């Protein structure tokens, strides 16, 4: 399909000649054919005109979960990547929390083939260990050659210190990236929310900030000894930001991310006992939230993620302590970040992270493949279930006032837009 985006305001700070300029963008056979003040396309072109249309380089999310294979009732691959594209994302890293988990090259190939051409491009994460059981390393090299961009036992800490050391050393041979979830389970126990005044008041089991910070400290000591590349997903405390900052000053090859709900909410919202607010790591204090925002602005935190985790209603509409962790985030991502940081910083955050996972950088330039996110930064609305295209509806952002809406994305010769 050939596509013409009419009167689009381009936001791309790396391209000073186009940044903040209103232009027509003609996409022909998946490539950006022409960018100009007034472009006349051929008769086979679909013309897209949307109110206050803004365009940026394609957005990427480094932590997205669906369900297929094994949990299709939560989300299928086909609908999941379509939801991501409608939410403005052109690329997602797919978490290995399926059944079975992707711990072989065949599993990685299956995920890529099943999702191909249906929406956002999928970059699978393979498990770090066989069956994600934390005992033996999985087929890291073979998975890398099949398209896995990193290795991660989803939301499970690497409890065996020697195993993490070996993984970091082994992965250096093929420039592999190891992920380690920051949680010491012996300290976290069965906690489900941040340990503090709110957990005590509500009678809910607490997860101390210490559980995250001790694990990060251990992982950084191992990284310093073993070398290699380490990514710490979804940090949530002020001290965690300081630990990563110190490690980077020492020259360690470490990166980290933060979930956008830890930038938006604090544990005060738990007084509603709404299980959609039950996430891991948990929502923390206002002090932690401000430190995370500052860490993003300074570059200590490398990227923001939605940490999108669909869960069906049976796993959420039960007692808080028994409910599953996780919230949707893709559909609300742009509006939430725009509401916190404003348009330009929100776009910067959404376009960061590709280099860490060896995913090619995209540009807005004639002759380049089309990889564009479409959005309106000025639209105000209250988020409702009508905005959620996911099969599951477990969003903590329901009922929240949001400024800024994603229209969708252009990925090569396909366009995904709201309204469709």
Distance from C-alpha of 256 to C-alpha of 233, rounded to nearest angstrom: 5
Distance from C-alpha of 174 to C-alpha of 252, rounded to nearest angstrom: 18
Sign of CA dihedral 275, 279, 282, 287: negative
Cis peptide before 343 (omega within 30 of 0): no
Distance from C-alpha of 235 to C-alpha of 258, rounded to nearest angstrom: 5
Query: Among the options 242, 288, 307, 413, which is catalytic?
Result: 307
CA 367 to chain centre: 28
Distance from C-alpha of 220 to C-alpha of 381, rounded to nearest angstrom: 42
Tokens matching residue 46: 């679909």
> What is residue 323's DSSP assignment?
S
Q: How many C-beta neighbours within 10 Å does residue 341 have?
A: 18
Burial (CB count within 10 angstroms: exposed 0-12, middle 13-18, buried 19+), residue 207? buried
Sign of CA dihedral 95, 300, 87, 20: negative
The crossing angle, in degrees rounded to 10, of helices 238-249 and 209-226 is 10
Q: Is 61 a catalytic residue?
A: no
Catalytic residues: 307
């Amino acid at each position: 399909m050939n596509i013409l985006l009419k009167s689009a305001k381009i936001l791309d700070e790396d391209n000073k000649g186009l940044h903040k300029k209103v232009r027509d963008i003609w996409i022909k056979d998946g490539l950006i054919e022409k960018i100009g003040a007034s472009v006349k396309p051929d008769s086979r072109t679909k013309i897209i005109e949307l109110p206050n249309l803004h365009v940026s380089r394609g957005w990427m999310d480094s932590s997205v979960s669906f369900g297929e294979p094994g949990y299709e009732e939560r989300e299928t691959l086909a609908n999941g990547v379509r939801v991501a594209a409608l939410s403005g994302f052109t690329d997602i890293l797919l978490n290995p929390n399926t059944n079975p988990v992707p711990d072989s090259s065949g599993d990685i190939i299956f995920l890529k083939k099943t999702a191909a051409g249906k929406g956002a491009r999928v970059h699978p994460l393979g498990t770090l260990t066989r069956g994600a059981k934390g005992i033996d390393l999985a087929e890291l090299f073979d998975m890398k050659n099949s398209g896995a961009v990193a290795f991660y036992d989803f939301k499970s800490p690497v409890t065996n210190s020697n195993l993490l050391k070996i993984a970091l050393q082994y992965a250096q041979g093929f420039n592999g990236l190891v992920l380690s979830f920051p949680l010491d389970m012996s300290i976290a126990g069965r906690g489900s929310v941040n340990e503090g005044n709110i957990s005590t008041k509500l009678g809910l089991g607490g997860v101390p900030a210490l559980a995250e910070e001790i694990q990060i400290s251990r992982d950084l000591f191992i990284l310093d000894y073993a070398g290699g590349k380490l990514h710490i997903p979804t940090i949530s405390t002020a001290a965690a930001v300081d630990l990563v900052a110190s490690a980077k000053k020492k020259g360690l090859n470490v990166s980290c991310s933060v979930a956008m709900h830890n930038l938006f909410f604090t544990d005060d919202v738990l007084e509603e006992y709404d299980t959609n607010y039950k996430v891991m790591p948990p929502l923390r204090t206002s002090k932690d939230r401000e430190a995370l925002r500052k860490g993003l602005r300074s570059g200590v935190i490398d990227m923001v993620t939605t940490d999108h985790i669909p869960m069906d209603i049976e796993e959420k509409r039960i007692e808080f302590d028994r409910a599953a962790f996780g919230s949707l985030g893709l559909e609300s991502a742009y509006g939430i970040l725009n509401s916190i940081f404003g348009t330009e910083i929100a776009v910067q955050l959404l376009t960061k992270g590709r280099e860490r996972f060896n995913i090619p950088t995209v540009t807005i330039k004639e002759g380049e493949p089309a990889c564009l996110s479409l959005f309106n930064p000025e639209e105000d609305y209250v988020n409702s279930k009508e905005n959620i295209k996911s099969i599951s509806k477990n969003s903590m952002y329901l009922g929240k006032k949001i400024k800024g809406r994603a229209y969708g994305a252009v990925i090569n010769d396909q366009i995904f837009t709201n309204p469709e």
